[in-house]
């Protein structure tokens, strides 16, 4: 058996502490991986797998990545589901040798990189939060806490287990922490549904008593009462987040903001299926492109983009909050010049939140210092731009956070150059004339010769010896050299008191001075000294920033709010959106409503303009339901979705794509649109449809807005019809919601005469010579048929199939009109018995073909061309 080397023993000892993570083991300019880590990493990163020595008589697999390119490899590994323990060298090889020639450089893990704890810009999406979540259940209580260490956001809310999935869909976290034990496997399917990595943590991390102390220690308070009244489950969830951060960040806790307590009744409840169906932040393909967020995002800062996604995912149910946001937006719409000036200033604003986070975690650099400075410069300019305007309260609140940095801004402005380097070790980021000691060190470093020349002239003037020289060699270093004749003068008083004899040669005598010795030392050490001074100043500036961290975080939130307001104003003006009326009634009255995503797509494709439609679901009490019929491809699904999106945008605090909109607050938004299966969990398309419908019927209240499309289509006709019928009745009688219910079951239109809250509506079409033309207009009334055969023809089904379908449809409809209860297959001629008409084989050219062959278009005058056309028409007739 081979002997384990000291270095490999150190590696194995560190690796044993992190068995579930890949260990990046720092060796000089590379992070090396060994054994199974190397095999897994080489495959995941598509890099070469080599070997290094032997262990237990077997080759040790090894691979490595350069330190300077590590971030890119980390991103790949994190996206592929790995966790990475970063083991750094804690001393230099020279320092290790002081303990003995065979001593191994000290190493230890300085950070555990997981999906929810990354802070590097290259690993994060600038316009998305990166939430780390923790879920805790304590007897009859449950809570969810979440934090984004890259921005400092920290929130908590009570959440029942049934609401966990919708909340995860809203937050879209990168990692979910849960206690070890029986609940782990029960929660795994929920995490898998949302593709969230699940991380088990010891139950001690969720202990509520320890959690409270952990939170108080972090925020340096004696009690949590200053932040609200938290349940034990909420306290435990928050404590678990903090404990996990202590574990992964190795004690360097991020700059978390004070915990914000949320509740379910403050925002519109939207389940995962509805978010997916409405494509709020991601399209059905999973991309941002094609989503509502992509269409409405005109923010000019990353923080504004993150705030927009948050608002879009969590529309408010607080009427005062919505009205305040709309008032601020109306001001921006009416003051376009000011809004554009604000947007111009905001474009120059760096991502302050993430710069602060990196500085707090000691992962920042000079550019983060400059980001704070540049943000404060723009904040001051923005505040001045708004001075003298009669602003609404919401804007005043945002602006109030941008002042109060009278000491920090001058400090940073004086200390930093305009464009600092990325890393502090690169140096050169402190401005000239900021620190006298640094300027002197730089002068010695960069202008050593001129310093010596100046000193030589000084000594020549002092001694009166014009031939005096200052020279340098590797033995004596810097020295003063003069001839033996002149040396006698320097050896005599009073010069002998200043000039110290060093060496006498055949023709020269060499001296030094205390000043020259000091300058020599300083010149030789000037580079290192300059670097040390800059590092010291970097720490001082960083500490000054972190001392104002709370105020800076508030300024970042204020700037994000201004960005969102002015972006929504730009959107409203550019797209001709209007301010909605929002109140506590049960109104839902939309005039000229449009689907923002479809409208933009039509414009980009250069196609026809979007056809706007009205929708009225107002009811003082009871249900208000539109039963929508009409053919496929006519726009029913678009109409359903656009009204849901208009309601969502309105309660987010945005203008809406409509001529007019009056919306009574909605509490929940449900959408059952589209068809998909879930093969991994053994669910057919119809089963998925029924599960989603069941969730709606079991949860929707009288303040909900429900849109349902083609309920029951995945099973037999009568089964589907009966399910759709019963669903509509339940919505009307039990849920009493405002709803849009699209169907191809025309039998349901009879319910409009029996249920007081149900009205029929249809999408208009026009038939022309056997073809169907979609008008995309929604009007009151019921469709007489679905035009499915015509749509099949448009889709390109073979003509024989379309013709046969028409024959069968005619027979079925005739049977239905004559009162037949069941169609006998014998009543319908088989397809084979009634083949489509085949063209007769031609025995020669037809008259039309002969005429065409005789025509030469290039030789025809206009009159001759018209005559030829008439001859062709006659031949066809």
Per-residue tokens: 785: 């048929």
Q: How far is Cα 165 from Cα 188, in angstroms, rounded to an integer?
A: 11
Q: How far is Cα 6 from Cα 96, in angstroms, rounded to an integer?
A: 13
Q: How far is Cα 601 from Cα 293, in angstroms, rounded to an integer?
A: 14
Tell whether 634 is in a known binding site: yes
Whether 422 and 365 have beta carbons less than 8 Å apart is answered as yes
Give, rounded to a whole angstrom, the gap between the first and last alpha carbons of the chain: 99
DSSP string, 281-297: SS-TTS-STTSHHHHH-
Q: Which of 275, 314, 354, 333 is nearest to 656 (CA)?
A: 333
Tell whether 622 is in a known binding site: no
Q: How many CB atoms lie within 10 A of CB 589?
A: 17
Instruction: Let me know if 474 is exposed, middle or buried by CB neighbors in 10 A (0-12, 13-18, 19+).
Output: exposed
Q: How many CB atoms lie within 10 A of CB 581?
A: 15
Q: How far is Cα 514 from Cα 508, in angstroms, rounded to an integer?
A: 20
For the CA atoms of the chain, what is the radius of gyration?
38
Q: Which of 116, 89, 114, 107 is nearest to 15 (CA)?
A: 107
Collect contacts of 714-721 with beta carbons under 8 A, ≥24 apart. 714/675, 714/684, 714/685, 714/686, 714/689, 715/686, 720/745, 721/745, 721/747, 721/748
* Nearby residues of 768 by Cβ (< 8 Å), 6 or more positions away: none
DSSP string, 776-805: EEEEES--S---HHHHHHHHT--HHHHHHH
Tell whether 631 is in a known binding site: yes
DSSP string, 562-630: HHHHHHHHHHHHHHT-BPPEEESS--EEEEEE--HHHHHHHHHTT-PPP--EEEE---SSS-EEEEEE-
Q: How far is CA 516 from the centre of its chain?
A: 60
Burial profile 793-809: b = 16 or more Cβ within 10 angstroms, e = fewer: beeeeeeeebebbeeee
Tell whether 116 is in a known binding site: no
Per-residue tokens: 98: 């002081």
Q: How far is Cα 28 from Cα 679, in angstroms, rounded to an integer?
A: 49
Whether 660 and 591 have beta carbons less than 8 Å apart is answered as yes
Tell whether 636 is in a known binding site: yes
Cα–Cα distance list, 473 to 450, 512, 516, 520 (Å): 17, 13, 14, 12
Tell whether 630 is in a known binding site: yes
**Which run of H or E residues covers position 759?**
strand 758-768
Q: How far is Cα 254 from Cα 231, in angstroms, rounded to an integer?
A: 24
DSSP strands (E only) in 67-206: 84-89, 107-113, 132-138, 141-148, 153-158, 175-179, 198-201
Per-residue tokens: 643: 């009204």
Q: How far is Cα 368 from Cα 150, in angstroms, rounded to an integer?
A: 13
Per-residue tokens: 119: 């802070």
Q: How far is Cα 330 from Cα 706, in angstroms, rounded to an integer?
A: 29
Whether 331 and 281 have beta carbons less than 8 Å apart is answered as no
Tell whether 637 is in a known binding site: yes
DSSP strands (E only) in 183-229: 198-201
Whether 594 and 610 have beta carbons less than 8 Å apart is answered as yes
Preceding peptide of 677 cis, ω within 30°:
no
Q: Which residue has the tokens 């929130």?
A: 155
Binding-site residues for ATP, in ranges, read 630-637
Binding-site residues, in ranges, read 630-637
């Amino acid at each position: 058996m081979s002997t384990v080397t000291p270095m490999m023993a150190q590696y194995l000892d560190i690796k044993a502490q992190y068995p579930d993570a890949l260990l990046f083991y720092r060796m000089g300019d590379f992070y090396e991986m060994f054994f199974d880590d190397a095999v897994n990493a080489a495959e995941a990163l598509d890099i070469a797998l080599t070997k290094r020595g032997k262990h237990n008589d077997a080759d040790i697999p090894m691979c490595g990545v350069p330190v300077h390119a590590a971030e890119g490899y980390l991103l790949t590994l994190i996206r592929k589901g790995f966790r990475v323990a970063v083991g750094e060298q804690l001393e230099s090889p020279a320092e290790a040798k002081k303990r003995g020639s065979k001593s191994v450089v000290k190493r230890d893990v300085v950070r555990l990189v997981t999906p929810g704890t990354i802070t590097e810009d290259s690993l994060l999406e600038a316009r998305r939060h990166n939430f780390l979540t923790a879920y805790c259940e304590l007897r009859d209580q449950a809570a969810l806490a979440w934090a984004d260490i890259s921005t400092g956001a920290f929130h908590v809310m009570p959440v029942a287990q049934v609401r966990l999935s919708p909340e995860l869909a809203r937050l879209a976290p990168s990692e979910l922490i849960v206690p070890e034990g029986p609940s782990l496997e029960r929660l795994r399917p929920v995490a898998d549904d949302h593709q969230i990595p699940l991380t088990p943590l010891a139950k001690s991390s969720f202990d509520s008593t320890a959690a409270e102390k952990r939170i108080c220690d972090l925020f340096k308070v004696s009690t949590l009462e200053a932040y609200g009244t938290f349940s034990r489950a909420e306290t435990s969830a928050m404590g678990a987040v903090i404990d996990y951060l202590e574990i992964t960040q190795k004690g360097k806790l991020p700059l978390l903001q004070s915990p914000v307590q949320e509740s379910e009744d403050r925002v519109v409840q939207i389940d995962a299926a509805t978010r997916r169906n409405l494509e709020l932040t991601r399209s059905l393909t999973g991309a941002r492109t094609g989503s509502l967020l992509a269409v409405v995002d005109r923010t000019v800062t990353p923080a504004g983009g993150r705030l927009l996604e948050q608002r879009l995912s969590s529309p408010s149910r607080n009427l005062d909050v919505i009205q305040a946001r709309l008032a601020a937006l109306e001001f921006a719409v009416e003051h376009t010049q000011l809004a554009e000036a604000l947007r111009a200033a905001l474009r120059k604003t760096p991502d302050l939140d993430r710069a602060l986070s990196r500085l707090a975690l000691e992962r920042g650099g000079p550019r983060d210092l400059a980001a704070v400075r540049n943000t404060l410069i723009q904040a001051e300019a923005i505040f001045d731009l708004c001075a003298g305007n009669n602003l609404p309260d919401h804007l005043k609140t945002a602006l109030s956070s941008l002042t109060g940095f009278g000491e920090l801004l001058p400090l940073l402005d004086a200390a930093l150059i305009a464009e600092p380097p990325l890393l502090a070790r690169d140096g050169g980021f402190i401005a000239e004339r900021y620190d006298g000691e640094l300027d002197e060190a730089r002068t010695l470093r960069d202008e050593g010769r001129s310093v010596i020349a100046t000193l030589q002239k000084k000594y020549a003037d002092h001694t009166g010896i014009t031939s005096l020289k200052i020279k340098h060699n590797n033995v004596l270093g810097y020295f003063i050299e003069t001839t033996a004749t002149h040396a006698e003068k320097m050896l005599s008083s009073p010069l002998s008191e200043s000039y110290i004899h060093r060496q006498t040669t055949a023709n020269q005598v060499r001296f030094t001075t205390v000043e020259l010795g000091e300058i020599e030392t300083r010149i030789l050490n000037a580079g290192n000294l300059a670097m040390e001074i800059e590092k010291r100043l970097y720490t001082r500036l960083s500490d000054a920033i972190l001392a104002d961290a709370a105020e800076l975080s508030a300024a970042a939130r204020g700037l994000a709010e201004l960005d969102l307001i002015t972006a929504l104003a730009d959107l409203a003006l550019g797209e001709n959106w209007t301010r909605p009326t929002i109140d506590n009634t049960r109104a839902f009255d939309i005039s000229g409503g449009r689907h923002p995503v479809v409208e933009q797509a039509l414009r980009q494709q250069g196609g026809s303009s979007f056809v706007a439609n009205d929708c009225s679901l107002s009811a003082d009490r009871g249900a208000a339901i539109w039963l929508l019929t009409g053919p496929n491809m006519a726009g029913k699904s678009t109409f359903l979705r656009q009204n849901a999106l208009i309601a969502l945008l309105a309660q987010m605090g945005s203008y809406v794509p409509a001529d007019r909109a009056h919306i009574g607050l909605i509490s929940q938004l449900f959408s059952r649109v589209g068809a998909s299966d879930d093969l991994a969990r053994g669910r057919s398309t119809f089963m998925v449809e029924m599960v989603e419908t069941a969730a709606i019927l079991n949860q929707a209240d009288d303040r909900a807005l429900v849109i349902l499309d083609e309920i029951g289509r995945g099973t037999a006709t009568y089964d589907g019809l009966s399910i759709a019928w019963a669903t509509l009745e339940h919505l009307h009688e039990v849920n009493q919601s405002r709803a849009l219910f699209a169907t191809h079951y025309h039998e349901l239109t009879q319910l409009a005469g029996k249920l007081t809250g149900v009205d029929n509506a249809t999408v208009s079409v026009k038939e022309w010579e056997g073809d169907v033309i979609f008008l995309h207009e929604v009007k009151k009334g019921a469709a007489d048929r679905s035009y499915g055969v015509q749509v099949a023809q448009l889709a390109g089904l073979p003509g024989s199939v379309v013709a046969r379908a028409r024959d069968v449809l005619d027979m079925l409809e005739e049977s239905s009109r004559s009162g037949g209860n069941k169609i006998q297959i014998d009543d319908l001629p088989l397809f084979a018995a009634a083949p489509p008409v085949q063209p007769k084989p031609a025995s020669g050219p037809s008259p039309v073909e002969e005429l065409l062959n005789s025509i030469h278009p290039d030789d025809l005058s206009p009159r001759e061309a018209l005559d030829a056309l008439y001859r062709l028409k006659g031949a066809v007739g």
